[in-house]
Structure 1
């Protein structure tokens, strides 16, 4: 049976209806589907107790890209370069992140998802690379096609990322203005851009917790290495796992703790 992969939604307003909606990019859906999984969009619930019904049914979580993580989640004040944030989205994703950590569930993070996983493990972020990281490359290239490669990433030798991608260097797109500053507990940075910015991470003690700062969901169709990553994620999600789900109160109490 194909594994069920949870993907948290973002919130916005419909372009035509002007009504509130939950959504995510189709590219994530197609990447998971093509790799053999069944994507399930997770809305931003008003009452996170509803997660108790959903979480035991999932075989993996993909944390997608999106808006900025609010710095209150890692005990910092907002920087002038901070972009749009959503406290409800942060709360949902922190609860999900702590759950996958506790349950050892296969997890893939992309862009914001990589940053959120790091924050959930006690790390922090550069809130704005241009102003906080001297001599950085231009990482936010939102005006360019989303599949356009901007720079290379050097991959750490003997890392899980190197094994899955099958190379020690790879070209990536770049659609972010934040990045990991201090890695969280157990986080290993296994890929860096030419300017040293963290681009790949993994948590070796976890069954499968890998993340990319780029957007491989926009690249896998033309670059087999990224297809390997999605297929490895879905393959791990397909393996048997004894789930010992914590109570909702456990999830929320952990996610509410300061980083």
Structure 2
């Protein structure tokens, strides 16, 4: 069926007190409007099921959320770390590795960007303010409406993020205290904030393996320019 929508698996948050999945509807609607069929992924460590999902789905979106356990890049969890979600960490790291190995398109947003980098051998700052001592860091956990862009990012030309937006500078929202530190082998930094913090990464040989630190799913309803990254992603899933 040449006009069928590609199936996009979306990782969800997990509420431990209520034993339930949750997701911001902005992710779902962005994929739908971009031409994809959004499907929530299960929270499971069943490797055989996850391999089946990799084979059946056309692309993957790793959503934002809590911190990743620092043990996955060989560090202790320091006091300035935040809440971690053990039921999410292993399956999402597995999906990132397998999707990239199979050249299945994958988009990581905020936590999802960090998951992709960790999965492929990179590291992250557990807290950009505590671990960048003596450096003036921008406000990356904004006190403003979630859709409101609060700082510029500077995009490298000839990258997938640039090809999606066709702009060298765009303004984005910001809700994180962690960020990519050592970029994983095979990846490049495709944009940075004015303070030097990594704002997006992408794999140099995959058709689409991109992580962005901002939250376009919270912005596109106010300004559809932020739908462009989803459109580029879904187009390459077809």
TM-score > 0.5, shorter chain as reference:
yes
The corresponding residue for 1:245 is none
The corresponding residue for 2:65 is 66
Alignment of 1:7 onto 2:10: yes
Instruction: Report if the CA contact (8 A) 1:156-1:190 is conserved.
Output: yes
After TM superposition, give the deviation of residue 144 of structure 1 in Å: 2.6
1:1-259 correspondence to structure 2 within 5 Å: 1-12=4-15, 19-133=18-132, 134-141=135-142, 143-238=143-238
CA distance in 1, matches of 2:51, 2:124: 30
After TM superposition, give the deviation of residue 46 of structure 1 in Å: 4.9
CA distance in 2, matches of 1:37, 1:204: 24
After TM superposition, give the deviation of residue 37 of structure 1 in Å: 0.5
**Count of equivalent residues:** 233
SS at match of 2:20: strand
CA distance in 2, matches of 1:96, 1:158: 27
The 10-residue stretch of structure 1 (112-121 or 48-57) with the greater mean CA deviation from structure 2: 48-57
**Once the two structures are superposed, what CA deviation does each residue of 1:58-103 show, in whole Å capped at 9, x if it has no partner?**
0000011000011100001112110011222110101101110111
Q: TM-score, normalised by structure 1?
A: 0.86
Segments of 5+ residues of structure 2 without an aligned counterpart are none
After TM superposition, give the deviation of residue 207 of structure 1 in Å: 1.3
SS at match of 2:68: coil
Instruction: Report if the CA contact (8 A) 1:32-1:38 is conserved.
Output: yes
CA distance in 2, matches of 1:194, 1:156: 13
SS at match of 1:191: strand
Instruction: Report if the CA contact (8 A) 1:68-1:85 is conserved.
Output: yes
CA distance in 2, matches of 1:203, 1:53: 23
The 10-residue stretch of structure 1 (39-48 or 202-211) with the greater mean CA deviation from structure 2: 39-48
CA distance in 1, matches of 2:91, 2:219: 27
Q: TM-score, normalised by structure 2?
A: 0.93
After TM superposition, give the deviation of residue 24 of structure 1 in Å: 1.4
Q: Give me the CA root mean square deviation.
A: 1.4
Instruction: Report if the CA contact (8 A) 2:34-2:230 is conserved.
Output: yes
